[in-house]
Structure 1
Amino acid sequence: MKELKIEATLFVYDSIEELDPEVIDLMNEAIAIRKKAYAPYSKFLVGAALLLDNGKIVTGSNQENASYPSGLCAERTAIYYAGAQYPEAKIVRMALTAGSLKTVTNTPIPPCGACRQAISEYEIKQGTPIEIYFMGETGKVIKSNSLKNLLPLVFEKSVL
């Protein structure tokens, strides 16, 4: 037997104000779109904003459905739109924010497993890392320089 040790490096900011101005702008886009989420069942709203290498910003919010598996997370809504509208563009940076209509969310909320897999597909496809910033409604912001910090053992096309 051999031990495999996996490490991840994340950066924690005390608040959105500590971020670079262009990241604050992107996070504000995510906050604005979060407020437009359609989440009548979970009451948990999520917003995502992507900065593409062509300068475009693409946003998405979670869209629920009474048939739960038919809904879509904010991250995948934004990523798939970017892939459809700008197939040659690379995703440089992603800002995520999540909040509950029931309580204040001040803990950083990372992407779910399905979204991590979708982000990994695009990171592998484009051959460059995607910076990911995530937060709750308020409080700390966490930054990952690559999806690989959040999903170190990815399932990808080379195994198919």
Structure 2
Amino acid sequence: MKKIQINSSATIFENLSELPKEDFDLMHCAIEARRKAYAPYSKFNVGAALLLNNGKIMTGNNQENAAYPSGMCAERVAIWKAGSEFPDMIVKKIAITAASSETEVNKPVGPCGACRQTLSEYEINQKQPIEIIFMGEIGQVVKTESLLSLLPFSFDSSYL
């Protein structure tokens, strides 16, 4: 038997204004996307914005449906939109923000498990890390240098 330790690091910014300009601008795109989310059931709006290596920014937001499993998360909407429009893209970073019409979201909201899995495939395939920047509606912002730091022991195509 062998015990290993897995470490992950993140940078915590006290608020949006502390972000570097490129990250600040990307998060504002995510905030705009969040405002257009269709979330009449959960009342939990999520926006995502991806920065591609060609300088393009792709956005997405959550899209709910009365048949709950039929909805889709903002991160997957954005990455699949980017993949369909720019199949040879490199995703440099993604900004994610969430807000609720029921309560103030004042702590960072990271991507769900399904979104982590989906984003990890893009990171693995492009052989370059994807920076992840996430926040709630207000308050602290978290930044990691790689999606895989949020998903140790990830499942990928090498198992198939």
TM-score by length of 1: 0.99
Q: Note the aligned Cα RMSD (angstroms).
A: 0.6
Q: Distance in 1 between matches of 2:90 and 2:118?
A: 14
Deviation at 1:11, TM superposition (A): 0.7
Q: Distance in 1 between matches of 2:54 and 2:124?
A: 18
Instruction: Report the equivalent of 1:84.
Output: 84
Alignment of 1:100-139 (within 5 A): 100-139=100-139
Q: Distance in 1 between matches of 2:147 and 2:94?
A: 10
Pairs aligned (count): 160
Post-superposition Cα deviations, 1:7-49, rounded to whole Å, max 9, x if no partner, equal: 1011100001111111111000000110100001100000000
Q: Distance in 2 between matches of 1:47 and 1:153?
A: 27
Q: Distance in 1 between matches of 2:48 and 2:91?
A: 12
Secondary structure (helix, strand or coil) at the match of 2:75 reads helix
Q: Distance in 1 between matches of 2:146 and 2:155?
A: 15
Instruction: Report the equivalent of 1:49.
Output: 49
Alignment of 1:5-154 (within 5 A): 5-154=5-154
Post-superposition Cα deviations, 1:79-136, rounded to whole Å, max 9, x if no partner, equal: 0000000001100010000011101101000000000000000000111000000000
Deviation at 1:5, TM superposition (A): 1.1
Post-superposition Cα deviations, 1:49-79, rounded to whole Å, max 9, x if no partner, equal: 0000001000000000111111000000000
List structure 1 runs of 4+ shifted beyond 2 angstroms: none
Q: Distance in 1 between matches of 2:83 and 2:4?
A: 34
TM-score by length of 2: 0.99
Give, as a single letter, the amino acid of the residue that structure 1 aligns with 2:153.
L
Deviation at 1:142, TM superposition (A): 0.1
Q: Distance in 1 between matches of 2:24 and 2:2?
A: 43
Instruction: Report the equivalent of 1:159.
Output: 159
Structure 1, gaps ≥5 residues long: none
Structure 2, gaps ≥5 residues long: none
Give, as a single letter, the amino acid of the residue that structure 1 aligns with 2:128.
T
Deviation at 1:4, TM superposition (A): 2.0
Secondary structure (helix, strand or coil) at the match of 2:142 reads strand
Q: Distance in 2 between matches of 1:16 and 1:65?
A: 31
